[in-house]
């Protein structure tokens, strides 16, 4: 146990040492934004991301700066990224909705099975890391309850801790799954945003394919398949088509 504490402390100090310079960059970028120098603010935010650090707030602030510069596609992209890292943040949701209103394409969403929607909404309460913490705590609590069960002499206490240990074990497994799924959402790159002002979606991964429909910048798509530099995308209304990978950027 002590070892673990030392390890985490060591990890944090390393992170903080590196984070110091990025922190000053962040303050600088936020000041630039406050002075309405959006171009410069965008540069600094992008630099922080380039160094290899991220936070939902950075994506959010960057999205704001792009929004102010009327670069809709980048704004939507960064808001979506921020939302993946902090799925339950109200500000991000609000600004994304505002940006989406400016998106040209109006796509009807397919209805989601209510159980699935329910599970999704639970899952989106926390980020991957938060779920991971929860699973660890739940695991430890489960072990504690099992110990109680084993060593307690009172029958009532034994029964109670036995039941509770099952509950916390379930919580542990569920939060582990959620954590894993949240992580997958971030790293899989299965969603993307259209970056070109207008792009024609084809029926096959080939320039000679039939034109199916036209999409405009800022529209969110799901990536289904890939053939060389063509990608098959799916819209939230279920329609599918192929377009060149250069037209989209994964979230």
Partner 1 sequence: MKRWFITGFLGLLILAKCAFAQDVTFTASAPEVVELGQQFRLIYTVNAQAKSFNAPTLEGFSVLAGPSTSQSSNVSIINGKVTQNFELRYTYIVQAMKEGEYTIPPAEVTVDNKKYTSNTLKIEVIKGTQGQNQGQQQAVTNQQQELPKEQISQGDLYIKIYVNKTKVHREESIIATVKLFSRLNVTRLENAKLPTLDGFIAQDIEIPPLTSLTRERIGDQVYLTGILKKYLLFPQKSGDIEIDPFEMDVYYQKASNRRQRSIFDDFFGSVESEGRKVISNKVTIHVEDLPANKPYDFSGAVGDLKMTADIDNVNTKTNDPVNLKIKISGSGNIKYINPLKIEFPADFDVYDPKISDNIKYSENGALGNKTFEYLMIPRHAGEFTIPAFNFTYFDTETNQYKTDKAGPFAIKVEKSDGDTSVAVSTAFTKEDIKYIGKDIRFIKNNNIKLRQKGKFIIGSKGFIFSYIISFILFILLFLFRRKIMKENANIVLVKNKKANKYAKKRLKNAYGFMNQNQKEAFYEELVKALWGYLSDKLGIPVANLSKDNARNHMHEKGVDEDTINQILGIIDRCEYARYAPVTEETKMDTLYNDAIKIISKLQQKLK
List residues binding partner 1 (CB under 8 A). Answer: 1, 3-4, 7-8, 11, 15, 19, 22-23, 26, 30, 33-34, 48-49, 52-55, 57-58, 60-61, 64-65, 67-68, 91, 94-95, 98-99, 128-129, 131-133, 135-136, 139-140, 143, 146-147, 150-151, 176, 179-180, 183, 186-187
- Work out the number of other CB atoms within 10 angstroms of the CB of residue 212: 16
Question: 100 or 219, CB closer to partner 1?
Answer: 100
CB of 84 to partner 1, least distance (A): 12
CB of 123 to partner 1, least distance (A): 13
CB of 67 to partner 1, least distance (A): 5
The set of residues, in sequence order, having a beta carbon less than 8 Å from that of 79 and lying 6+ positions away, is 59, 60, 63, 92, 95, 96, 99
CB of 43 to partner 1, least distance (A): 15
The set of residues, in sequence order, having a beta carbon less than 8 Å from that of 134 and lying 6+ positions away, is 126, 171, 175, 179
Beta bridge partners, 214, equal 200
CB of 190 to partner 1, least distance (A): 15
CB of 196 to partner 1, least distance (A): 23
Question: 61 or 191, CB closer to partner 1?
Answer: 61
Please provide the DSSP assignment of 201-230 as one string. EESSSSTTSPEEEEEETT-EEEEEEEETTE
CA atoms within 13 A on the CB side of 41: 23
Q: Are 39 and 20 in contact (CB under 8 A)?
A: no
Question: 150 or 167, CB closer to partner 1?
Answer: 150
Question: 18 or 120, CB closer to partner 1?
Answer: 18
Question: 14 or 227, CB closer to partner 1?
Answer: 14
Question: 101 or 115, CB closer to partner 1?
Answer: 101
Distances (CA, A) of 8 to 1, 3, 12, 14: 11, 9, 6, 10
What is d(CA 120, CA 6) in angstroms, rounded to the nearest whole number?
A: 36
């Amino acid at each position: 146990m002590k070892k673990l504490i030392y390890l985490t402390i060591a990890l944090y100090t390393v992170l903080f040492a590196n984070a110091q310079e990025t922190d000053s960059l962040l303050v600088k970028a936020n000041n630039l934004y406050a002075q309405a120098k959006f171009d410069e603010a965008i540069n600094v935010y992008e630099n922080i991301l380039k160094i290899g650090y991220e936070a939902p707030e950075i994506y959010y602030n960057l999205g704001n700066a792009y929004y102010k510069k009327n670069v809709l596609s980048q704004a939507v992209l960064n808001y979506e990224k921020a939302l993946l890292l902090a799925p339950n943040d109200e500000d991000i949701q609000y600004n994304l909705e505002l940006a989406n209103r400016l998106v040209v394409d109006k796509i009807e969403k397919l209805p989601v099975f209510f159980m699935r929607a329910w599970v999704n909404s639970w899952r989106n309460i926390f980020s991957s890391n938060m779920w991971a913490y929860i699973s660890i705590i739940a695991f430890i609590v489960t072990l504690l309850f099992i110990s109680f069960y084993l060593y307690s002499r009172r029958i009532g206490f034994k029964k109670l801790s036995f039941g509770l240990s099952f509950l916390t074990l379930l919580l542990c497994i569920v939060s582990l799954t959620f954590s894993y799924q949240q992580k997958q959402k971030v790293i899989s790159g299965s969603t993307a945003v259209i970056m070109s002002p207008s792009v024609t979606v084809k029926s096959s991964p080939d320039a000679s394919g039939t034109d199916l429909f036209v999409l405009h910048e800022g529209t969110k798509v799901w990536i289904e398949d890939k053939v060389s530099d063509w990608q098959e995308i799916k819209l939230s209304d279920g329609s599918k088509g192929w377009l060149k990978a250069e037209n989209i950027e994964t979230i």
